[in-house]
Amino acid sequence: MKVFVDRGLCYGSAECAHRAPEVFEFEDGYGVVRPGREESADDPRVAEAAEKCPSQAIRLTE
């Protein structure tokens, strides 16, 4: 599964970077997926970050 952050929805809470810093980082005021970590959606911390994202900007896809 893949993970990505919809920058149109993200408002920069940085919750994702705090919950799963090995997958997400904070860049230009927004959460982003670290390069090469797009295939990390199976990680439980990534699922938790998606669930807890206040703007619901994190997407997990097949």
Domains and CATH numbers, the chain: 2-61 (3.30.70.20)
pTM of the model: 0.90
Collapse the DSSP code of 17 into the 3-class scheme (helix H, G, I; strand E, B; otherwise coil) and give the result: helix
Contacts of 47 (CB under 8 A, 6+ apart): 41, 60
Indicate the helix (H) or strand (E) that contains 53.
Answer: none
Indicate the helix (H) or strand (E) that contains 2.
Answer: strand 2-5
- Give the span between the Cα atoms of 13 and 8, in whole angstroms: 14
pLDDT digits (tens, 9 = 90+) for 7-54: 999 999 999 999 999 999 999 999 999 999 999 999 999 999 999 999
* pLDDT higher than 90, residue 62: no
